[in-house]
């Protein structure tokens, strides 16, 4: 079935009014705590490359995107005043060098007092007159773009907004669901290209075509890794030539709908049955971790539980020997799985607030033995997060086990077998529910064509 990703999707429009009400309530609290009367949210502006007249791709302020699905509208502002309709200062320059934003249209427009301006000089007239009662949220490189507002990104207000963003509204859940469906269609196309013997570069383009994204529109740079490249956690090189021998394929790639991201990873064996069986075992382990996701669970505990499960996989696959506690304590599991289990997901791939204990800004540190964990909160209903365990042959880390108590627990012969395949990672996007969870990624693959 065709998925409607447009800003005219009636399903999204049905949720949007409540979403705006929730945002207004959050900003009411932020303004009250900051002692301010107006929040001005700046969309951002393109940045020039050093010593050049070429701009980097525009990345909008996520606070702006949370209000309106406008991911390519620089030099624009939303002005929120409690009790009033939000004002959108919509920058539509007169320009014959570039495509300019079209007329505002879609399910979101009725919720804004839209003021179209054609030059930067026109913006000031639409700002609150009492600038001393304003805060401005966004990346401000040029102070003139604050129009006299002195309070930029006050910590008290930002903490409240970032903590609250951990809980997604029904509108955001629906957009994230669409984003997962879009990403799943790309993964299907990428696997087909891999099976056809394509290079990393050509697999990447097959993915982009399927999700209808240019590279700058992707939520993050695609990881398209054949064979041993899968052991490089953030591999984005994209070889232009196919390898002489195909063994494995790891793809970590997402898509976006209205600025909200999916973040999906799959691993495939080309023909090797032993490696395929290991992928299937890791998939079962990943699903067992997903089944533990529910409101009230400490994500740090999930991460440690995953290491214990991975220890069992290592023993079953003859990559290591010993009981789970020993493999954790000696650092064996961390050598095979050095990154965190996952992170919050939303407008940003690694969405904000993952370490926050409360809206006051207090934080929760990751476990001392697992410093790369990006989410340390107790899970709450309608959080959306990733679950992405991995197993890799990273020689730099495994060599660190030589000469330690861990060395005797590693089966180096099996490691040598796995090395040419690089590694395995399986990642799903999961919504937290009370006593349950919803796997947006598995649902998306089930409906993808």
Output the six-digit token pair for 433: 């529910």
Structural contact between residues 137 and 151, judged by C-beta atoms closer than 8 angstroms:
no
| Residues paired with residue 410 on neighbouring β-strands, in sequence order | 320
User: What is the pLDDT at residue 449?
Assistant: 58
Residues 131 and 21 in one domain: yes
First to last CA, the chain: 8
Convert the pLDDT of each residue in 372-406 to its tens digit: 999 999 999 999 999 999 999 999 999 999 999 99
How many domains, in total, are found in the chain?
A: 2
* Residue position matching structure tokens 């502002």: 77
Residues 307 and 437 in one domain: yes
Convert the pLDDT of each residue in 103-148 to its tens digit: 999 999 999 999 999 999 999 999 999 999 999 999 999 999 999 9
Q: Identify the band that residue 7 occupies on the pLDDT scale cut at 50, 70 and 90.
A: confident
Output the six-digit token pair for 238: 């994209």
- Across the chain, mean pLDDT equals 96
Q: Residues of the chain with pLDDT > 70: what percent?
A: 99
Distance CA 391, CA 109 (A): 47
Output the six-digit token pair for 346: 């939303």
Backbone angles phi, psi at 445, to 5 degrees: -65, -35
Beta strands 134-137 and 151-152, pairing class: parallel
Convert the pLDDT of each residue in 30-83 to its tens digit: 999 999 999 999 999 999 999 999 999 999 999 999 999 999 999 999 999 999
Output the six-digit token pair for 10: 């009636």
| Residues paired with residue 266 on neighbouring β-strands, in sequence order | 251
Convert the pLDDT of each residue in 428-437 to its tens digit: 999 999 999 9
Residues 337 and 386 in one domain: yes
Q: Which domain holds residue 30?
A: 10-164
Residues 103 and 179 in one domain: no
Collapsing DSSP to helix, strand or coil, 46 comes out as coil
Residues 174 and 292 in one domain: yes
170: Cα within 13 Å, side-chain hemisphere: 9
User: What's the Cα-to-Cα distance from 382 to each of 22, 236, 357, rounded to whole Å?
Assistant: 14, 32, 17
CATH number at residue 212: 3.90.230.10
Distance CA 398, CA 415 (A): 9
* Residue position matching structure tokens 């590693």: 410
User: What's the Cα-to-Cα distance from 32 to each of 35, 88, 246, 317, rounded to whole Å?
Assistant: 5, 22, 59, 57
* Mean pLDDT across 222-238: 98
DSSP string, 292-322: T--TT-BHHHHHHHHHHHHHHHHHHTTSB-S
* Mean pLDDT across 96-106: 93
* Residue position matching structure tokens 């320059």: 93
Q: Which has the closest alpha carbon to 299: 165, 432, 159?
A: 432
| Residues paired with residue 253 on neighbouring β-strands, in sequence order | 264
Residues 144 and 224 in one domain: no
Rg over CA atoms, the chain: 24
246: Cα within 13 Å, side-chain hemisphere: 17
User: Among the three residues 142, 164, 186, which one is the final residue of a domain in this structure?
Assistant: 164
291 located within any domain: yes
DSSP secondary-structure letter at 426? -
Residues 142 and 72 in one domain: yes
Element (H, E) at 377: none
User: What is the pLDDT at residue 1?
Assistant: 41
Residues 264 and 387 in one domain: yes
5 located within any domain: no
Residues 152 and 176 in one domain: no
Distance CA 237, CA 223 (A): 8
Beta strands 248-253 and 264-269, pairing class: antiparallel
User: What's the Cα-to-Cα distance from 4 to each of 9, 160, 180, 384, rounded to whole Å?
Assistant: 6, 33, 13, 21
Q: Is 2 a residue whose pLDDT tops 60?
A: no
CB neighbours of 171 closer than 8 A, spacing ≥ 6? 12, 15, 16, 18, 19
3 located within any domain: no
Q: Which has the closest alpha carbon to 39: 168, 154, 165?
A: 154
Beta strands 113-117 and 260-261, pairing class: unpaired
Element (H, E) at 107: none
4 located within any domain: no
User: Among the three residues 149, 164, 179, which one is the final residue of a domain in this structure?
Assistant: 164
User: What number of residues does the chain have?
Assistant: 449
Residues 62 and 138 in one domain: yes
Output the six-digit token pair for 5: 């990703």
In the chain, the largest separation of any two C-alpha atoms, in whole Å, equals 72
Report helix, strand and coil shares of the chain as percent, to nearest 5: 40, 15, 45
Convert the pLDDT of each residue in 302-335 to its tens digit: 999 999 999 999 999 999 999 999 999 999 999 9
Structural contact between residues 11 and 107, judged by C-beta atoms closer than 8 angstroms:
no
User: Among the three residues 115, 148, 164, which one is the final residue of a domain in this structure?
Assistant: 164
């Amino acid at each position: 079935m065709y998925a409607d990703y447009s800003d005219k999707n009636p399903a999204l429009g049905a949720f949007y009014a409540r979403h705006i009400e929730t945002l207004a309530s959050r900003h009411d609290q932020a303004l009250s705590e900051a002692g301010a009367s107006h929040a001005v949210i700046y969309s951002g502006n393109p940045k020039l490359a050093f010593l050049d007249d070429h701009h980097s791709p525009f990345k909008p302020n996520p606070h702006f995107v949370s209000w309106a699905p406008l991911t390519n509208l620089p030099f624009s502002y939303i002005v929120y005043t409690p009790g009033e309709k939000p004002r959108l200062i919509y920058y539509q320059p007169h320009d014959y060098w570039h495509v300019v934003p079209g007329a505002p249209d879609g399910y979101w427009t009725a919720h804004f007092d839209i003021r179209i301006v054609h030059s930067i000089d026109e913006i000031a007239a639409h700002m609150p007159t009492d600038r001393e009662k304003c805060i401005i949220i966004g990346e401000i490189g040029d102070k003139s773009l604050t129009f006299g507002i002195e309070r930029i990104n006050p910590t008290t207000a930002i903490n409240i907004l970032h903590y609250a963003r951990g809980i997604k509204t029904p509108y955001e859940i629906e957009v994230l669901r669409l984003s997962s469906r879009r990403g799943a269609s790309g993964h299907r196309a990428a696997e087909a290209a891999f099976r056809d013997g394509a290079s990393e570069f050509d697999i990447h383009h097959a993915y982009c075509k399927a999700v209808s994204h240019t590279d700058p529109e992707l939520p993050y740079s695609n990881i398209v890794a054949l064979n041993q490249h899968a052991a490089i956690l953030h591999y984005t090189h994209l070889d232009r030539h196919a390898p002489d021998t195909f063994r494995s394929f790891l793809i970590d790639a997402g898509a976006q709908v209205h600025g909200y991201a999916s973040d999906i990873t799959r691993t495939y064996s080309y023909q090797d049955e032993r490696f395929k069986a290991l992928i299937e075992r890791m998939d079962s382990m990943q699903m067992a971790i997903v089944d533990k996701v529910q409101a009230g669970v400490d994500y740090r505990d999930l991460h440690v539980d995953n290491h214990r499960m991975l220890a069992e996989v290592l023993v079953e696959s003859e990559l290591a020997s010993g009981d789970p506690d020993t493999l954790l304590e000696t650092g064996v599991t961390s050598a095979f799985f050095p990154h965190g289990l996952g992170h919050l997901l939303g407008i940003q791939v690694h969405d904000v607030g993952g370490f926050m204990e409360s809206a006051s800004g207090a934080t929760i540190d990751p476990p001392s033995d697992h410093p790369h964990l990006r989410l340390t909160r107790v899970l709450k209903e309608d959080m959306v997060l990733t679950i992405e365990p991995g197993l890799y042959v990273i020689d730099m880390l495994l060599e660190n086990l030589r000469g330690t108590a861990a060395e005797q627990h590693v089966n180096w012969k099996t490691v040598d077998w796995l090395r040419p395949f690089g590694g395995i990672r399986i990642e799903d996007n999961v919504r937290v529910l009370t006593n349950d969870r919803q796997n947006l990624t598995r649902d998306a693959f089930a409906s993808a064509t």
